[in-house]
């Protein structure tokens, strides 16, 4: 048997644009794909996430073989404990003389790979992941010398670089950001289109059965599994979104409603993050929809900002600041995560609905994640690492490079302002404005104290009060801090005391 080079492809790299596949000669290499226990269990992953990745991996392996590649595939039932063990197994079977890997998306795995060459006894080369629009080196260069690493300015540079929504050197329409136009609550003003689910082929049904048996207590209602598992089907999902939901995406992207878990959102982040879709073509397709008059500029800009700006920004920040970033806890948040984070059994209607949806479907849109669940965790001072691990486990699009900055930095302000210019803290009034949950909630968003008072209200002011020293130094918090201090001392004391009672009653709220 002739010696070969192994190429390890990870479960979030299932792309024909993979840097090691573009010039690969099937005669010279063995592709290694492995469903391994270590990757499936390092947090309590949602079963939707595991099933999506495993099914997509198996379909990608079939596509590779159809193109003439040799694939060494390990299934979960083969009991291969780790990716390193999968590489050792392939090395022994195929007499591999070298291993090539594309850089992983998570620091823990990158750290493990530094010892693989010694462990395997063959040359191991880790290559850059070229599927992102800003390399780690690009972002580090952009960040160099800046006192503040604000996404908005990074996003503007990316717009110029990729010539998206530009008129010469100026932004389309004269403004870079149309977020102010995208904050309406949905009150039945327009019908939410019925979103078709993907059909399940034999491979996906087999994966679902295996995942259900192997992870019986993990979150995720697999009877609702609806996700694309091939690039072709992910493209169909994108096309449906552009045709049917994009025109209303911008207007209602911050809306909360019990009428639909999907509203007008894209539902493509999971496909971008595991390689089934590529970011630039996605952005170009949305821009084309705007150019032909199919959607508003605010809708197209809001969508492109999330992909070209935010997604690339959080990845750059993650790699720039790790490994220390994960340990940050600027607000000293250490309160135990309530058990109902794993059941959704809380009387707070908005929180219950967001958590149950997240657990069952592996999905929630950004306002549910940031301003309902994340906001509550921020106000209550819940343990930062526990909250981050929960987000990493629950959402099917969550890999640490994207989850950690969004949770630790954006939602919890635990990085002290590296990402966000102020804490994303809000009372029940915001949730009432954006959604319809309050109508069926036993708590009243208009009340601050008393048994029927919305817990978000007193917890908001308790948060403001207990962090008043640090928040007073934040220029964007001046108006709020000034108003709080002008209130009568007895009024402040009553609100803070009620907030303290809410904190003590967290397990039963």
pLDDT at 2: 66
pLDDT digits over 374-418, tens only? 999 999 999 999 999 999 999 999 999 999 999 999 999 999 999
Q: Are residues 205 and 307 in the same domain?
A: yes
Q: Are residues 51 and 115 in the same domain?
A: yes
Q: Are residues 316 and 407 in the same domain?
A: no
pLDDT at 91: 96
Q: Is residue 241 part of a domain?
A: yes
Q: Is residue 424 part of a domain?
A: yes
Single pTM value for the model: 0.96
pLDDT digits over 227-258, tens only? 999 999 999 999 999 999 999 999 999 999 99
Q: Is residue 263 part of a domain?
A: yes
Q: Is residue 359 part of a domain?
A: yes
pLDDT at 467: 96
Residue 30 per-residue DSSP state: E
Q: Is residue 214 part of a domain?
A: no
Q: Are residues 286 and 359 in the same domain?
A: no
Q: Are residues 305 and 159 in the same domain?
A: yes
| CA end-to-end span of the chain | 65
Q: pLDDT band at 198, cuts 50/70/90? A: confident
Sheet holding 98-102, edge to edge: 70-74, 29-34, 5-8, 98-102, 123-127
User: Which residue in this structure is represented by tokens 């850059």?
Assistant: 128
pLDDT at 184: 85
Q: Is residue 69 part of a domain?
A: yes
pLDDT at 21: 92
With CA atoms as reference, report the closest residue to 93 among 75, 112, 70: 70
- CATH code of the domain in which 502 resides: 1.10.579.10
pLDDT digits over 270-288, tens only? 999 999 999 999 999 999 9
Angle at 418 between CA 414 and CA 423, to 5 degrees: 55
Q: Are residues 354 and 437 in the same domain?
A: yes
H or E element in which residue 167 lies: strand 166-167
3-class DSSP state for residue 354? Answer: helix
Q: Are residues 399 and 455 in the same domain?
A: yes
Q: Is residue 405 part of a domain?
A: yes
- CATH code of the domain in which 120 resides: 3.40.50.620
Q: Are residues 155 and 122 in the same domain?
A: no
Give residues with Cβ within 8 angstroms of 285, minimum separation 6: 238, 242
User: Which residue in this structure is represented by tokens 């792309």?
Assistant: 15
Choose the final residue of a domain: 68, 92, 127.
127
Residues spanned by the domain of 39: 5-127
Q: Are residues 117 and 174 in the same domain?
A: no
Choose the final residue of a domain: 127, 146, 179.
127
Q: Are residues 346 and 446 in the same domain?
A: yes
Q: Are residues 360 and 299 in the same domain?
A: no
Choose the final residue of a domain: 127, 158, 180.
127
Total count of domains within the chain: 3
Q: Are residues 144 and 246 in the same domain?
A: yes
Q: Is residue 430 part of a domain?
A: yes
- CATH code of the domain in which 155 resides: 1.25.40.80
Contact by Cβ (8 Å): 249, 299? yes
């Amino acid at each position: 048997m002739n010696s070969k080079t192994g190429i390890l492809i990870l479960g979030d790299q299932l792309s024909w644009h993979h840097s090691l596949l573009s010039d690969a000669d099937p005669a010279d290499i063995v592709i290694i794909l492995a469903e391994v226990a270590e990757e499936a269990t390092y947090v309590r992953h949602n079963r939707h996430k595991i099933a999506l990745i495993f099914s997509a991996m198996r379909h990608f392996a079939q596509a590779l073989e159809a193109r003439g590649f040799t694939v060494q595939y390990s299934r979960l039932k083969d009991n291969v404990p780790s990716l390193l063990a999968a590489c050792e197994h392939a090395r022994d079977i195929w007499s591999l003389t070298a291993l090539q890997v594309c850089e992983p998306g998570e620091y823990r795995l990158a750290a493990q790979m530094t010892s693989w060459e010694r462990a395997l006894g063959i040359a191991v080369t880790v290559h850059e992941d070229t599927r992102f629009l800003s390399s780690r080196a690009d972002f580090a260069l952009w960040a160099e010398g800046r006192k503040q690493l604000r996404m908005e300015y990074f996003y503007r540079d990316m717009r110029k670089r990729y010539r998206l929504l530009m008129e010469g050197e100026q932004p389309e329409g004269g403004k870079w950001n149309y977020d102010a136009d995208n904050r309406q609550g949905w009150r039945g003003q327009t019908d939410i289109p019925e979103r078709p689910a993907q059909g399940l082929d034999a491979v996906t049904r087999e994966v679902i059965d295996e995942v259900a048996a192997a992870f019986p207590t993990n979150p995720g209602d697999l009877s609702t599994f609806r996700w694309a598992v091939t690039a072709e089907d992910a493209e169909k999902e994108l096309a449906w979104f552009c045709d049917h939901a994009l025109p209303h995406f911008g207007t209602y992207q911050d809306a909360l409603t019990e009428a639909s878990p999907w509203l007008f959102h894209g539902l493509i982040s999971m496909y971008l993050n595991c390689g089934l879709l590529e970011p630039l073509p996605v952005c170009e397709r949305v821009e084309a929809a705007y150019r032909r008059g199919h959607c508003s500029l605010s809708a197209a800009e809001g969508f492109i900002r999330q992909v070209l700006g935010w997604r690339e920004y959080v990845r750059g920040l993650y790699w720039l600041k790790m490994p220390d970033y994960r340990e940050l806890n600027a607000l000293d948040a250490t309160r135990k995560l309530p058990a109902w984070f794993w059941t959704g059994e809380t009387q707070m209607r908005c929180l219950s609905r967001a958590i149950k949806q997240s657990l069952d479907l592996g999905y929630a849109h950004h306002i549910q994640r940031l301003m309902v669940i994340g906001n509550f965790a921020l106000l209550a001072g819940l343990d930062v690492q526990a909250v981050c691990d929960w987000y990493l486990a629950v959402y099917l699009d969550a890999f640490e490079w994207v989850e950690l900055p969004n949770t630790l930095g954006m939602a919890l302000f635990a990085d002290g302002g590296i990402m966000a210019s102020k804490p994303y803290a809000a009372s029940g009034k915001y949730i009432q404005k954006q959604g319809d949950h309050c109508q069926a909630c036993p708590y009243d968003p208009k009340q601050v104290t008393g048994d029927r008072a919305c817990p978000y209200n007193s917890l908001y002011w308790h948060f403001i009060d207990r962090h008043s020293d640090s928040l007073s130094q934040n220029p964007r918090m001046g108006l709020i801090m000034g108003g709080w201090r002008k209130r009568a001392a007895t009024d402040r004391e009553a609100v803070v005391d009620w907030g303290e009672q809410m904190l003590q009653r967290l397990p039963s709220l």
